[in-house]
Structure 1
Amino acid sequence: MLDHIQLNKVLFLDIETVPQWPSYDDLPADFKKLWEHKADTLKRAPDETAETLYRKAGIYAEFSKIICISAAYFHAGHLRVKSFAGDDEKELLCRFAVMVNQFFRDSDYYLAAHNGKEFDFPVIARRMLVNGLPLPKTFDIAGHKPWEISHIDTMELWKFGDYKSFTSLALLATLFGLPTPKDDINGSEVASVYWIEHDLARIVKYCQKDTVTVARLFQKYRGEKPVSESDIVIVGDSSGIYDS
C-alpha cells in the first residue's frame, strides 16, 4: 500500500486552531450575529445556545484562527519536525508558506494529514486567503481533477471506501501499537490552554506529537517499521516561541 510514493516526497502536517475571539462575549457585533446563525445549525439539545456552542468555533475557518502548524518530513533517515506557531496568524502562515514554496512546490510532492482533506488542508488555504496571502501551489487546487491533487488523508485511506464513521488518530495509533499523541491534552482543550492558560508551547508539543503520529501511521500503512524516537529531530521554530 502506498508503495508508489517516495517517503521523502511527503510533507506531514497537523494544525491547531482556536476561536478567533476568547469568548462569545468578545465577538464583534457583526460576527456575533453570524455566529448565532451558524449555531442554529449546530444545536442538538434544547438547552444549547450560541454562547454554549462557541467552544466549537475553532473548527470553522470563518470563526477561528490557526495558532500552530507542525510539519514533518523524512530526510537522511530522520524525521525532521518544524513548527510554526504564534499569536499572529498571518505571520506564522507567511513563514509556513515560505517553507512550502521553497521545498515542497513540485508536482511530485504530497501533503499528508489525518482528516486533512476536511480540516487541515482547507483550513490552511482559507485562512491564507482571509489574511491576503497567495496560496502555495500544493494548496491551490481549484479546477484540478481529483487525481491531480497530491493530498493524502490517513483517515480517508483507512476507510477503504466505507464512509460510515470517523476514526480518530488516537484510535488508529493504539490499534497499530504507536505511542498515543493524546497523553497530555486533546483537541477540545486547546482553546482553553491558549486563551486561559496562555501556554502556546504546550500546544506546539501536542501538535508535533500528532504530526509524528501521522508520519508513523503512514509508515505502518506501507508495512514499514515506524520511525524511532531517536531518529526524530525537532527543528527550532524560527519565531523563537518554541525551540527544543
Structure 2
Amino acid sequence: MRLLRNLSLDQVFVLDIETVPCVGCHDDLAEMLQHLWEHKCHALRREKGWISHASHIDPLPDHLHAAALFEQAGIYAEFGKIVCISLGCFYYDKQERLRFYVKSFANHDEAQLLREFSAILEKKPEHWLCGHNNKEFDIPYISRRLLINGLGLPPQLDTAGKRPWEINHLDTLELWKFGDRKSFTSLSLLAAMFGIPTPKDDITGADVARVYYEDQDLPRIVHYCQKDVITTARLLLKFRGEEPFTDEAVVYADEASVLMRRV
C-alpha cells in the first residue's frame, strides 16, 4: 500500500468513539423525539427485514416496539451522544523507538468533550485521522454531534467541497476491502488474523449503553475505547508491513497538554 508506506506515522491520529442513547430510556425522550424515534423504528423494521414491506404485524412483538429498540439509539447521531473519544499518536523517543501515546476525552458533558477533542485537531490540521470504519461511523458521528452542540468543525472534519485526495482520512476497514463492498470485517476479526491481541476481552460495543447508564462506569468504557485505538494502530502497522509496538511502548497521557506537546 503505497500511501501507507509513504505516510509519516508521526502525522497520524488514530481515533475511536463510544456512543450511547441520548437518555437512559425511551420514556425520558421529549415527546417530539419519541414520535420521531417511532418513525425511525418503522423504517428500521423494514430495512432490517424484521417486517416485510408488504406486511404489518399488529400488535408488534415486544422486542420490536420503539421502547425496546431504543437500546440501539446510540448508533444514530440524532438520538445518541458521544461519551468518550480516544485519540492516539505515534511518537519516536530519543532512542528513535516507536511509542504510542493515548489520550481519552470522556465526559458526561458532551459539548465539553468535543471542545477538548477539537482543540487537538485545530493544533495539528495536517494530521491524518485513522480508524476502523471511521469514514462511515466515527467521523460522520463526531461531525454531526459538533454541529448539534453548536460547535465548529476542525480542519480534518470540514470536508465539504474538498476533492477525495484532499481529505486526510484513513479507514482500516476500507483498506482491507481492496474495493470489495460485499461484507463488513470487524476489528476483532482482523486482529485475530494478524495475531494482534483482541480489544474485546471485556465488553463490546453492545454493552456500552448498559455500562454507562446502569453500571455508571465511564472509566470502563474509556479503557475499552483505548484498546480499540491501540488495536487499530497495530493493525495500521501490519498493513505497512511492520511489526506492531508492544504494550510497553504505550503511554497514556493524563492531561491533554501532555499529548499536545508530544505531537
Could you tell me which of 81, 86, 92 is aligned with 2:102?
81
1:148, CA displacement in angstroms? 1.1
Q: Which residue is equivalent to 1:53? A: 69
Q: Does 1:215 align with 2:217?
A: no
Q: TM-score, normalised by structure 1?
A: 0.94
Could you tell me which of 180, 192, 195 is aligned with 1:177?
195
CA offsets per residue over residues 48-67 of structure 1, 9 Å max, x none?
12111111100000000000
Q: Which residue is equivalent to 1:155? A: 173
Number of residue pairs the alignment of both structures matches: 236
- Structure 1: runs of 5 or more not aligned: 239-244
SS where residue 198 of structure 1 aligns?
coil
Paired with 1:236 and 1:105, the residues of 2 have a C-alpha distance of 23
Q: Does 1:127 align with 2:145?
A: yes
Q: Which residue is equivalent to 1:68? A: 84
SS where residue 3 of structure 1 aligns?
helix
Does the CA contact (< 8 Å) of 1:113 and 1:154 recur in 2? Answer: yes
SS where residue 94 of structure 1 aligns?
helix
Q: Sequence identity of aligned pairs in percent? A: 52
1:28, CA displacement in angstroms? 0.7
One-letter amino acid matched to 1:147: W
1:236, CA displacement in angstroms? 1.3
SS where residue 117 of structure 1 aligns?
helix
1:237, CA displacement in angstroms? 4.8
1:146, CA displacement in angstroms? 1.1
Could you tell me which of 16, 20, 23 is aligned with 2:22?
20
Paired with 2:149 and 2:87, the residues of 1 have a C-alpha distance of 20
Does the CA contact (< 8 Å) of 1:115 and 1:155 recur in 2? Answer: yes
- Structure with the largest fraction of helix: 2
Q: Does 1:99 align with 2:120?
A: yes
Q: Which residue is equivalent to 2:58? A: none
Note the aligned Cα RMSD (angstroms): 1.2
1:45, CA displacement in angstroms? 2.7
One-letter amino acid matched to 1:144: K
Does the CA contact (< 8 Å) of 1:128 and 1:134 recur in 2? Answer: yes
Paired with 1:209 and 1:45, the residues of 2 have a C-alpha distance of 33
Q: TM-score, normalised by structure 2?
A: 0.88
1:4, CA displacement in angstroms? 1.4
SS where residue 5 of structure 2 aligns?
coil
One-letter amino acid matched to 1:101: E
Q: Which residue is equivalent to 2:56? A: none
Q: Which residue is equivalent to 2:260? A: none
SS where residue 105 of structure 1 aligns?
coil
One-letter amino acid matched to 2:115: C
Q: Does 1:6 align with 2:8?
A: yes
SS where residue 161 of structure 2 aligns?
coil
SS where residue 164 of structure 1 aligns?
coil
One-letter amino acid matched to 2:249: D
One-letter amino acid matched to 1:64: G
Does the CA contact (< 8 Å) of 1:85 and 1:237 recur in 2? Answer: no
Paired with 1:232 and 1:174, the residues of 2 have a C-alpha distance of 20
Q: Which residue is equivalent to 1:242? A: none
Paired with 2:172 and 2:26, the residues of 1 have a C-alpha distance of 34
Paired with 1:147 and 1:78, the residues of 2 have a C-alpha distance of 28
Could you tell me which of 12, 32, 35 is aligned with 1:33?
35
1:73, CA displacement in angstroms? 0.4
SS where residue 118 of structure 1 aligns?
helix
Paired with 1:120 and 1:86, the residues of 2 have a C-alpha distance of 17
